[in-house]
Amino acid sequence: MDVYEALYTTRAMRRVRPDPIPPEVQARILDAAVRAPSGGNAQNWRFVLVDDPAARSALGPLYRQCIDQLWATIYKARVESARADPDLPESRATLAMVASVEHAADHFAGYPLFLFAFHRGDTTGGSIYPAVWSAMLAARAEGVGSSLTTVLAFKGDAVPDLLGVPRDQGWKMAACVPLGYPTGAWGVARRRPAHEVAYRNSWGAPVGFEINQPLWPSQD
């Protein structure tokens, strides 16, 4: 797959089939992930793949509680304002995201595979996400959908304890990536155009180009 296709079309794919992901596909995803950069090449990361039915069943209610907490706190005002004016483009995007996240929360135990990422001793916190994103890009190349989630952190040690993470070695859970073969079609991720969020030389100065349509696929 063209690298740009992977970059443009790797977006949150939360609706998936329960079909298992073959071990050789899982191996390619993880082998790609550990090529990612980390500060000082410390590779202070660990990954836990979870496909055990009992562990997946235990994760389901925990995830649902975290999502309910999310709606009741951080996202409360944004969701209320989207529901109050549902026809605005930004409201539509918010409500579509809510529906997608709700689907994931309702079916969490049904994901065939989860990739948990842990890190330690990383003062910036930035060293784990390149590997997580590489795993998601590799999954995309394999036709496997993914979504990056962090909300299980609301549960403190509950998930690390479930996964047998030693408590005394400083490992912190950075992300949980549910994986599965998507039921829907891949599409280009919708984002604010680069020229609206980028400047040149000085904050607020025009970056020097306007990109009103995604540059992939090429229009030539």
Contact footprint for ligand FMN (CB under 6 A): 11-12, 97, 101, 104, 147-151, 189-190
CB 116 within 8 A of CB 176: yes
Least distance (Å) from ligand FMN to the CB of residue 169?
A: 24
Looking at the Cβ atoms of 12 and 207, the one nearer to ligand FMN is 12
Q: How far apart are CA 24 and CA 26, in angstroms?
A: 5
| Position with the least CB separation from ligand FMN | 11
- Dihedrals φ, ψ of 168, to 5°? -105, 15
Looking at the Cβ atoms of 22 and 193, the one nearer to ligand FMN is 193
Q: Which of 144, 112, 143, 148 is nearest to 129 (CA)?
A: 148
Count other C-beta atoms under 10 Å from residue 172's C-beta.
Answer: 15
Looking at the Cβ atoms of 42 and 189, the one nearer to ligand FMN is 189
Least distance (Å) from ligand FMN to the CB of residue 208?
A: 26
CB neighbour list of residue 134: distance below 8 Å, 6 or more residues apart? 32, 33, 35, 36
Least distance (Å) from ligand FMN to the CB of residue 111?
A: 12
Looking at the Cβ atoms of 167 and 192, the one nearer to ligand FMN is 192
